Amino acid sequence: MEGRALLQLLLDHKELSGNGLATALRGAVSQSSIQKYLAGTAREPRRATLEAFANHFCVPIEAFYDEYVAEKTAHQLGLISTPPSGSVLTLQKVRHLIQQQPAQQTPSLRNAFRQIRVALTRETPGVRRSVVALIGDLADKAEDTEFSEHTIDRMMAVLGEHGGKPAAPESTHSRREGSR
């Protein structure tokens, strides 16, 4: 499911029109921009536009970039009944990868990165990009424990491990924002 389809489901669920969303966003995004995005007649919106949608509906911004995350989010919110197809990196899979190492070998940072790489090979490119952006955010503020824990929670949400509720509405503060 594309991000625009998720937005339409969210609008329908909240009984909002594009104009109603523009009003709710207090002019942060114009009604015409919303309509063009929904119709597929505009180029991909700026990250700030998608962040406004994500924050308003309390969904991860990654859902507007990655079809799998969009479908997973719609399913978790009860907007669609069919669970998403595809692979999901779960905490259980990561634990299994760690447990496969010889007992005498102490897990090192290098081994942790190798395990993450192996696990991400099963994910969609959009999920991979989301995790990389969040890792960049984590690196930027690693000394801020609260922010770091929140960022780790967001990574787990992207990877399907957030206990069935949408990720917090805060946006990532990645320096890569201009690349979208």
Higher-pLDDT residue of 7 and 147 is 7
| All CATH 1.10.260 domain ranges in the chain, comma separated | 1-84
Q: What average pLDDT is seen over the chain?
A: 76
Cα separation of 180 and 171, whole Å? 14
For the segment 134-144, what is each residue's pLDDT rounded down to a tens digit?
A: 887 787 887 88
- The Cα 93–Cα 98 span in angstroms is 9
- Give the pLDDT confidence score for residue 142 in this predicted structure: 78
Residue 125 scores a pLDDT above 90: no
Q: What digits encode the pLDDT tens for the residues 89-116? A: 555 555 555 555 555 555 567 777 777 7
- The 3-state DSSP class for residue 118 equals helix
Name the DSSP class of 151. Answer: H
Amino acid 69: pLDDT: 85
Exposure string of 108-129, with b = 16+ CB inside 10 Å and e = fewer, is: eeeeeeebbeebbeebeebbbb
| Predicted pLDDT at 79 | 93
The predicted pLDDT at position 132 comes to: 81
Higher pLDDT: 104 or 132? It is 132
In this predicted model, which residue has the larger pLDDT, 102 or 79?
A: 79
Q: Is 78 left (phi over 0), alpha (psi -120 to 50) or beta?
A: left
Q: In CATH, what is the architecture of 1-84?
A: Orthogonal Bundle (1.10)
User: What pTM was computed for the model?
Assistant: 0.51
pLDDT score of 85: 64
pLDDT digits 0-9 by tens, 47-63: 889 999 999 999 998 88
